[in-house]
Amino acid sequence: MFTKRSISQLGVIAMFITIFITLLSLPISAGAADDGSKIIVQGYITPDLISSNVNVKSGFKVLVTGTTVSQLTDANGFFKFEIKKKDGTIDLEISKAGYLTRAVQKLAGNIDCILSTIDKPVLMYAGDVPKQGVQDSMINIIDAMVLASAFNATSSDLRYSPFADFNLDESIDMWDVIILAKHFSATTAEYPAIIPVTAKSPTPTNTTVPTPTPTNITSLAPYTLVWSDDFDGDSINSDNWSAADTNVVYNNELEAYKTANAYVHDGSLVLEAKKETYLGKNYTSGKVVTKGKHAWTYGRFEIKAKMPESQGIWPAIWMLPEDDNLYGGWPQGGEIDILELLGHQPNKIYGTVHYGNPHASGQGEYTLNSGKFSDSYHIYAFEWDPGEMRWYIDGTLFHTEKSWYTRDINEADSITYPAPFNRDFHLILNLAVGGDWPGNPDETTVFPSKMFVDYVKVYERKDGVYPPAGERPEINNTIARQPLPDGNYIYNGSFDQQNNDVAGMRNVGSNIDITMTSYWTFSHVDANNGVAEASNDNGAIKLDISTPGNNTYSVQVYQKPINVEKSDTYRVTFDAWASLDRNMSVKVGSEADCGWANYSGDQTIALTTSSKEYTFDFKMTGDTNPAARLEFNVGAAGVNTVHIDNVKMIKLPRDPNASREPLSNGNLIYNGSFDQGSKCMGFWNFKTSGSAVATGSVSDNIFDRYFQAAITNGGTGADSIVLSQSGLNIEKGKEYTISFFAKAESARTIEADICSIADTPVIYSTEKSFSLTTDMTRYSFKFKMAQNTDARSQLRLKLGGNTSKVFVDNVYVKASSQGIHVEAEDADVHGEITAHGDYVTFGAGSYISKSITVPEAGKYVISYKVSTSDANGWLSVGDENHKETLPDTGGNSSWVNVTNSVNLNKGAQVIKIYGNAVNVDWLELSKDLVVGGSMTAPAADWIYWNTSGENAASTKSVDDGKLKVAIAAVGDNPWSIGVNQSNISLEQGRQYRISFDAKSTISRKIRLSVDKADYSKYFNLDLDITSEMKNYIVDFPMSATDTNCTLTFSIGNVSGATEAHDIYLDNVRMVEVADLYCQSLQSIVAPVTTEDDTTAIITDIITDGTFETGIGAWGSYAGEASDAGAGAITLDATSGKLVADVTKVGDQNYKPQVKRGSLSLIQNKTYTLTFNASSTVGRAVEVTILDPNNNYQYFGGNKFAISNSATDYFLTFTAPATTTTAELQFNLGTIAGYESTSVTSAVSIDDVKLVEATTTDIYNDGSLYNRYLNREDL
């Protein structure tokens, strides 16, 4: 039976047929553009339709039939790739989802060929819509029905299909009907024949044809000169440039930069490379930068320069971000290479942009028709707009980039486009020697080599107005190759299939595929000197490596195209072995069209001489790529033989009921910093209801982005305007902390809660109200999930009921840390403490104090965020006798993290932090996960090993409270010598800190790692240590829950140290932290402590209040046996808490009672009593402290309503006298004024603590202040 909607859709289909008949009767041009192809195959593709969308020409795949060689068109419809010459002909296939595939046949395989030009491109017919991922190579009624089913849908509609939106206007409408009708009934075979351009005018094989040049955009949008340097003086202008003097280089380069190698001569800047020894390097060269002097966002950069040539010489003109911290380091921070030239290719230049995480890049190249770039000066220009970059050589455009991205691996999505290229970059001019890309100098290299720069000019668009970036252009619409029936994405992974229609592996110089290697490609990179021979050895690939080359990818085997989809997880397995023990690098990544992105990370595989199965999993965090590749990189590891077999890659199933994973820092909120996704609002929903009128947006300032709600009408209540995010997995029984920063245009309140997503939501947390001011302030609250787990919960920030503009930033919802976080400005201050808003400064004789509740007794790590300009500044826990003397951190505005150890008792207590000449922002306390980190002799908690079979020689001892390893020989591998500790339990979604002191009698590297039981790594870092004892801190997120992690110091052959030396380790700590404060390694001079494992001097007057060993000194009283008004009570502590079962309520408050005597109190001292209590039936309890040996003198007390939910309670009092016989009483009889709730029940009491109080615990009326239910920082 048809529904009304079905009938409507049939009507639309009937309408389409009528339109098609009408349109088909009209004359429609079917002419095709000329096209061409060559050994360098290039041309232009365009759809036969009209569209204003700039991306309509991009994403057409041009494939060499029978091979895996292909290229996608760019935004201009241009493509270009190289293919080896061959006798006979080659065929091309041009395809894109939604378009009729087009074949180009019988192109000469031995000459270069231009397939088409920009003014006469190859035309593609729209209308062949994919059905379940398959196109049928014809435009017919089935396509019309697909279009009908989506008719009138927009991009926000579930019926919308991007493949039927031919003109890319985000709406499937009559224009798409007309486009489909234009070539209705066409098939692939009916495309007109293409006559290549080179078929009419052959081009000699040895001539490189330059890329056709679109209109120069500078003629359309004039620029204004804003900065220049003509190098007309006698020396480098120090107001513009800094000349480098350093041996810190990258990419395995061989030079040290020397100031004297950068100079001005005859009106040009000269960068000179020499063969000479300097700073431990065998070559010197010149480098100048504008960092710290000049930097620019957008514009035109023009450099007139003359390049050197020679093997291993590598000149570059490039740009890096002025602010290294905004988006992170390389590559996610971005790099722009205006020009690079490889000395052994003096007629070719490259323009490149690097970005992303995983790393990706886009690159163009230009080859001179004749001559070399070393013959004369050329003008290299780069134009940078918010959404486009363009590279020019002598006025000719040779490369354009429009689609880039960047992301923080700890976040859920890419930073909003056009990041990272939306902030200042500075210029760098340098001349490198050697390195991964150009290779090293040889006997032909000419020294000195010189790069000359005539001028550098920077322009901006007139009036500084640039076109907006818009949304990031989508790329790569290729239809994906499907996995095999068994789910394997790898074809012929067992090397036992021969498909004559699909290319296989070939050795250099051979025209014949190696048997049974279809779908695979074998490559050595000549520039990296890799030489090997491949063969099929009884169904396994055998690689005989005679020259390993400079890089792992110097010799490689790979397969493409493999479809990897964003957010899916994949498992790669394979068998491998070698003729000797060695490493092999394996990865899944992209081709050049996606910037050689590395999706899986480089997986280092330790091969042995026996066949073994290897496995690794990875999650695809980049954009979906249907043309990825799996690589086996076997270069740079000596002369040997490697075998590979049984290669598989499968997609791991998604659990349809699986909850959204927290971020690596534990945050359940995605994009809490409002800098990801479309318009920076990814994952968030902003809506109004009723009469409310408001708009939600994110500020444009990339250094201070925040959400802002501009409110015209606030509606009738707070929930009239809501900023929300759903998909939060809130688990039953867990406590969560919700935190955000907010301010308002004028003082007002907002509300927040966690609830279900139902139309009438279930509120899981109490609805909290927050009073906003005009200053951005942190607000937070906690709640424990009492309902069943809800994997789709939502956070709501309710902003209605007021017209004052609201600003929100840095939102998080996390399972509460097991540690205790204290903001220093929130603590009680004593003595010469100066408060500065968000930190405090300690003066002589001062301390801060804070009441805290410690969940269990034991050794804790206390972490501080501190700064000081005084090398004698110090902190001490408990009193002034446990000083930790801090190094000068670099000034009062230079903040670092430091740690110390402290022993704490369980329960409520007051912690005091003394100090002098130091600033403290915050402190955190968390249980130390390491045992024996202070290295007290004999350091028995640590396992030490020395692998003599790997040529290691060392001994272990404890020297002056430090673990000492005396190393005579480091051995063959990093793990040949090491120290570790196992059985460390870590939890997924939490963050952890490793802190330790280390030094070595020689400068060298060591390797720090957190290992799984199979020795694979959760965390891995190589770091430098020197002869100075330093403290090292690094924080990392935990990716899985594992109760048997191992903290390992590998101190064998990490950096090739050869001479004998000693390594010292001390104060090793590992602890949970609330956030990734030190995600990058922090290294400072090690603080000096007066003694290890300090104890906070906080006296707990009640020593048995946790009932872990039974009732202890506690007792009860119910009245005399002859007393008719007596109560009845029994005590039990077998459950780890005191349970008082009241079976009869007496006629007085103390009939019955629980009591604890022999308490020592001092006159005029103020004390805090804390306890946890619950009752099977809600009832009143009166707590008193008195002295039965002094006429029951009253010291303090209060009455409490105890519920069936275990709750923490506080009571403060000041002792009127000194005594050693005070008694604490929990009176469970008839409480005056509360007779109706003085009932029989079982009352549970736990964590009873009595300590000297701080001032904020005292209230004039003596009433209870339940701080633990209201505190925002604990």
Residue 1184 lies in a domain: yes
**For residue 241, what is the DSSP state?**
-
How far is 732 from 769, CA to CA, in rounded Å?
A: 24
Per-residue pLDDT at 5: 34
Q: What is the 3-state secondary structure (H, E, C) of 369-408?
A: CCCCCCCCCEEEEEEEECCEEEEEECCEEEEEECCCCCCC
Residue 1011: CB atoms within 10 Å: 22
Per-residue pLDDT at 94: 93
Residue 631: closest CA among 522, 732, 722: 522
Per-residue pLDDT at 659: 76
CA angle 1147-1148-1153, nearest 5°?
A: 115
pLDDT tier at 526, thresholds 50, 70, 90: low
Q: Are residues 809 and 828 in the same domain?
A: no
Q: Are residues 354 and 457 in the same domain?
A: yes
Residue reference for tokens 């902190």: 875
Per-residue pLDDT at 1099: 60
Q: Are residues 36 and 160 in the same domain?
A: yes
Residue 221 lies in a domain: no
How far is 1114 from 1137, CA to CA, in rounded Å?
A: 12
- Asked if 449 contacts 431 with a C-beta cutoff of 8 angstroms, the reply is yes
DSSP assignments along 529-549, one per residue: TEEEEEEE-SSSEEEEEEEE-
pLDDT digits (tens, 9 = 90+) for 624-637: 888 899 999 999 89
Mean pLDDT, to the nearest integer, of 719-726? 96
b/e code 863-877 from CB counts within 10 Å (16+ = b)? bbbbbbeeeebbbbb
pLDDT tier at 593, thresholds 50, 70, 90: low
Residue reference for tokens 């007057």: 1101
- The angle, 0 to 180 degrees and rounded to 10, between the axes of the packed helices 174-182 and 141-149 is 170
Per-residue pLDDT at 854: 84
Residue 1044 lies in a domain: yes
Residue 453 lies in a domain: yes
Per-residue pLDDT at 203: 32
Burial (CB count within 10 angstroms: exposed 0-12, middle 13-18, buried 19+), residue 645: buried
Residue 972 lies in a domain: yes
pLDDT digits (tens, 9 = 90+) for 1199-1209: 999 999 889 89
pLDDT digits (tens, 9 = 90+) for 1045-1082: 999 999 999 977 779 999 999 999 999 998 888 988 99
- Tokens read off for 395: 């006025």
- Asked if 402 contacts 388 with a C-beta cutoff of 8 angstroms, the reply is yes
How far is 659 from 790, CA to CA, in rounded Å?
A: 9
User: Residue 588 corresponds to which amino acid?
Assistant: V
DSSP assignments along 638-651, one per residue: -SEEEEEEEEEEEE
Mean pLDDT, to the nearest integer, of 1023-1036? 95
Please check the confidence at residue 60 and state whether its pLDDT lies above 50.
yes
Please check the confidence at residue 1273 and state whether its pLDDT lies above 60.
no
pLDDT tier at 674, thresholds 50, 70, 90: very high
How far is 870 from 592, CA to CA, in rounded Å?
A: 52
CA angle 737-848-770, nearest 5°?
A: 35
Per-residue pLDDT at 136: 82
Give me the domain span that covers residue 1141: 1114-1269
Residue 366: closest CA among 354, 383, 352, 387: 352
Please check the confidence at residue 712 and state whether its pLDDT lies above 70.
yes
Please check the confidence at residue 975 and state whether its pLDDT lies above 60.
yes
Q: What is the 3-state secondary structure (H, E, C) of 324-345?
A: CCCCCCCCCCCEEEEEECCCCC
Q: Are residues 743 and 716 in the same domain?
A: yes
What is the helix (H) or strand (E) element at residue 900, kind and residue range?
strand 891-904
Per-residue pLDDT at 477: 47
Residue 220 lies in a domain: no
- The angle, 0 to 180 degrees and rounded to 10, between the axes of the packed helices 174-182 and 4-24 is 50
* Weakest mean pLDDT among 53-57, 679-683, 791-795, 1002-1006: 53-57
How far is 1186 from 495, CA to CA, in rounded Å?
A: 87
Q: Could you tell me which residues are beta bridge partners of residue 1144? A: 1128
Distances (CA, A) of 658 to 82, 663, 1021: 45, 15, 32
Q: Are residues 1063 and 1143 in the same domain?
A: no
Which of the residue ranges 147-161, 467-481, 950-964 has the most confident prediction, judged by mean pLDDT? 950-964
Please check the confidence at residue 122 and state whether its pLDDT lies above 80.
yes
Q: Are residues 803 and 835 in the same domain?
A: no
Please check the confidence at residue 2 and state whether its pLDDT lies above 60.
no
Is 276 considered catalytic here? Answer: no
How far is 737 from 585, CA to CA, in rounded Å?
A: 42
Ranges assigned E (strand) in 1002-1060: 1004-1011, 1017-1025, 1030-1037, 1042-1050
Work out how many domains the chain is built from and give that number.
7
Q: Are residues 1066 and 1031 in the same domain?
A: yes
pLDDT tier at 657, thresholds 50, 70, 90: low
pLDDT digits (tens, 9 = 90+) for 687-708: 999 999 999 999 878 888 899 9
How far is 349 from 337, CA to CA, in rounded Å?
A: 11
**27: Cβ–Cβ under 8 A, 6 or more apart, which residues?**
none
pLDDT digits (tens, 9 = 90+) for 510-521: 888 899 999 999
Ranges assigned E (strand) in 113-219: 113-115, 122-124, 126-128
Specify the CATH number for the domain of residue 83: 2.60.40.4130
Residue 301: closest CA among 516, 453, 151: 453
Per-residue pLDDT at 764: 95
Q: Are residues 1255 and 1119 in the same domain?
A: yes
- Asked if 79 contacts 62 with a C-beta cutoff of 8 angstroms, the reply is yes
pLDDT digits (tens, 9 = 90+) for 127-150: 998 876 678 889 988 888 888 888
pLDDT digits (tens, 9 = 90+) for 78-110: 888 878 777 788 889 999 888 999 999 888 887
User: Would you call 462 helix, strand, or coil by DSSP?
Assistant: helix
Residue 273 lies in a domain: yes
Per-residue pLDDT at 89: 84
Specify the CATH number for the domain of residue 888: 2.60.120.260
For residues 1245 and 815, the model is more confident at: 1245
Q: Are residues 292 and 421 in the same domain?
A: yes
Catalytic residue among 255, 335, 823, 1072: 335
pLDDT tier at 463, thresholds 50, 70, 90: confident
**948: Cβ–Cβ under 8 A, 6 or more apart, which residues?**
none
How far is 318 from 429, CA to CA, in rounded Å?
A: 7
Q: Are residues 1131 and 1239 in the same domain?
A: yes
Specify the CATH number for the domain of residue 247: 2.60.120.200
Please check the confidence at residue 373 and state whether its pLDDT lies above 60.
yes
**For residue 949, what is the DSSP state?**
G
- Tokens read off for 1194: 């009253």
How far is 1101 from 1166, CA to CA, in rounded Å?
A: 13
- Tokens read off for 870: 């005084």
How far is 1232 from 1238, CA to CA, in rounded Å?
A: 9
- Tokens read off for 111: 């000459």
Is 1120 considered catalytic here? Answer: no
pLDDT digits (tens, 9 = 90+) for 846-894: 999 888 888 888 889 999 999 999 888 999 988 888 889 999 998 998 9
- Tokens read off for 461: 């668009």
Q: Are residues 282 and 356 in the same domain?
A: yes
Query: How many residues would you count in the chain?
Result: 1274
Return mean pLDDT, the chain.
86
Mean pLDDT, to the nearest integer, of 558-580? 92
Q: What are the start-end ranges of the H helices in 616-701?
A: none
How far is 214 from 397, CA to CA, in rounded Å?
A: 7
pLDDT tier at 1242, thresholds 50, 70, 90: very high
CA angle 743-744-745, nearest 5°?
A: 135
* Weakest mean pLDDT among 52-61, 318-327, 863-872: 52-61
How far is 93 from 450, CA to CA, in rounded Å?
A: 46
Of 1095, 1128, 1148, which closes a domain? 1095
Catalytic residue among 340, 383, 631, 823: 340
- Asked if 495 contacts 575 with a C-beta cutoff of 8 angstroms, the reply is no
- Asked if 808 contacts 740 with a C-beta cutoff of 8 angstroms, the reply is yes
Please check the confidence at residue 1145 and state whether its pLDDT lies above 50.
yes
Count Cα atoms within 13 angstroms, Cβ side, for 458: 19
Distances (CA, A) of 1139 to 832, 903, 1081, 1133: 46, 29, 49, 6
Residue 1021: closest CA among 1012, 1034, 1030: 1034
Q: What is the dihedral angle through the alpha carbons of 75, 77, 83, 87, rounded to the nearest 10 degrees?
A: 180
Residue 208 lies in a domain: no
- Asked if 1069 contacts 928 with a C-beta cutoff of 8 angstroms, the reply is yes
Residue 95: closest CA among 123, 125, 56, 60: 60
Q: Are residues 541 and 614 in the same domain?
A: yes
